């Protein structure tokens, strides 16, 4: 049994949610449920804005409660570790963020975004139907962007992974700006259809109170596994990071029959997420981000307009990363940049600062004396390209 800093496996989720709310004054717990809501939710509903709900099993922190806040989720509902939340809690969350007649007689409605897993489809679907029967206006967008396994012969469809957070970010920003439910659904679905993810694991994870869910040899890695430890595409010998990243991106963009999920085109603008599966060091994350950006730009000819690095959707203490690509479409970038106070989202500065070795840039831009370059503000659209060309 793996060691965990918990008081008891049974209370771990409730205590973790209480801790989340204790350190973030903009969040509240819904009494009697594992539901985290915006502290100002009453004002949001009164203003007639579309609200956004998500959730799923615990163990993926900061998802999903960490993405509750202005400009992102209105509420998030948590299940037990790696278990879908019950319909009763989902319905309670919908009631908390919905109003049959809000905003001067408007019925703004609620968008529910969740990942494609059987339990979540069942429980969120049941709750949504019950909410509609009570007079609430509810729509759903289900994210299924895993590229690990072939599409043929999969009854449950593709798995949902870290890409759902980009969908939530885009939808949350749009709803904050006063868009209608129909508009938010349309853009959120387009984002869900434009995203793809591939993962690699170096070690298993273990649910509190249980043994590891699978085993990997010291020199092994597993490509394409799910966020609950589901089997991936293949096990292979561990390779240097550059080669692992190349394999992941080649698989993610594969055009072989059954794998045509994400078709890269030269000059395509994308957003990249390098997601920590839980037990990967920051040093490794930055190294992987560098390898991924260089491969996408130099080998695939893509334009990486936004890159996010950190822990977004984890699998407890699993060592490994996932790479997510989002094909940017009109206004998508502005919605990603829209500020949010959700504690789990990195509010990346729009003006990037680039520092390179002076010997690698034109002498006219050097600073005399110490051989360093003065930090220079650049347009965010070209910042990554400047960094790659200069460094």
Which strand (E) or helix (H) includes residue 33?
none
Residue from 24, 33, 64, 228 carrying the catalytic annotation: 228
Nearest to 112 by CA among 84, 78, 73: 73
- Angle 110-64-101 from CA coordinates, rounded to 5°: 15
What residues form DSSP beta bridges with 326? 195, 271
Q: How far apart are the C-alpha atoms of 52 and 98, rounded to whole Å?
A: 10
Can you say whether the dihedral through the CA atoms of 25, 26, 29, 31 is positive or negative? positive
Q: Is 251 designated active site?
A: no
- Are the C-beta atoms of residues 308 and 62 closer than 8 Å to each other? no
Q: How far is CA 333 from the centre of its chain?
A: 15
Give the chain's largest Cα–Cα span. 73
Torsion-angle region of 318 (φ positive above 0: left; ψ -120 to 50: alpha; else: beta): beta
- Angle 341-343-347 from CA coordinates, rounded to 5°: 60
Q: How far apart are the C-alpha atoms of 319 and 185, rounded to whole Å?
A: 34
- Are the C-beta atoms of residues 259 and 154 closer than 8 Å to each other? no
Residues marked active site are found at: 228
């Amino acid at each position: 049994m793996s060691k965990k800093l918990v008081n008891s496996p049974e209370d771990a989720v409730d205590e973790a949610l209480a801790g989340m709310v204790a350190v973030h004054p903009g969040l509240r717990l819904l009494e009697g449920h594992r539901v985290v809501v915006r502290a100002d939710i009453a004002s949001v509903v009164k203003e007639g804005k579309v609200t956004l709900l998500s959730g799923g099993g615990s163990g993926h922190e900061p998802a999903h409660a960490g993405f509750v806040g202005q400009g992102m989720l209105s509420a998030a509902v948590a299940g037990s570790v790696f278990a879908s939340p019950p319909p009763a809690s989902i319905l309670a969350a919908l009631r908390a963020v919905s109003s049959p007649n809000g905003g001067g007689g408007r019925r703004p409605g609620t968008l529910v975004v969740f990942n494609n897993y059987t339990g979540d489809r069942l429980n969120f679907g049941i709750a949504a139907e019950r909410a509609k029967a009570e007079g609430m206006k509810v729509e759903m967008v289900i994210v299924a962007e895993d590229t690990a396994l072939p599409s043929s012969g999969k009854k449950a469809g593709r798995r949902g992974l870290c890409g759902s957070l980009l969908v939530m970010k885009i939808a949350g920003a749009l709803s904050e700006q006063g868009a209608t439910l129909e508009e938010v659904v349309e853009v959120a679905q387009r984002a869900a259809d434009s995203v793809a993810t591939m993962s690699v694991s170096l070690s298993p994870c273990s649910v509190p109170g249980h043994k590891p869910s699978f085993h990997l040899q010291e020199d092994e890695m597993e490509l394409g596994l799910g966020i609950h430890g589901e089997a991936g595409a293949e096990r292979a010998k561990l390779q240097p990071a550059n080669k692992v990243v190349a394999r992941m991106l080649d698989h993610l963009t594969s055009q072989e029959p059954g794998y045509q999920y994400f078709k890269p085109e030269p000059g395509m603008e994308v957003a990249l997420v390098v997601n920590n599966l839980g037990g990967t060091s920051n040093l490794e994350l930055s190294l992987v981000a560098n390898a991924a950006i260089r491969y996408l730009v130099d080998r695939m000819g893509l334009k990486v307009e936004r890159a996010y690095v950190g822990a977004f959707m984890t699998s407890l203490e699993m060592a490994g990363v996932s790479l997510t690509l989002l094909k940017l479409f009109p206004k998508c970038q502005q919605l990603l940049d829209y500020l949010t106070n959700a504690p789990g989202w990195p509010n990346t500065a729009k003006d990037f600062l680039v520092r390179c070795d002076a010997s690698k840039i034109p002498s006219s831009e050097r600073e005399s004396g110490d051989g360093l370059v003065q930090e220079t503000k650049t347009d965010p659209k070209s910042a990554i390209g400047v960094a790659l060309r200069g460094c």
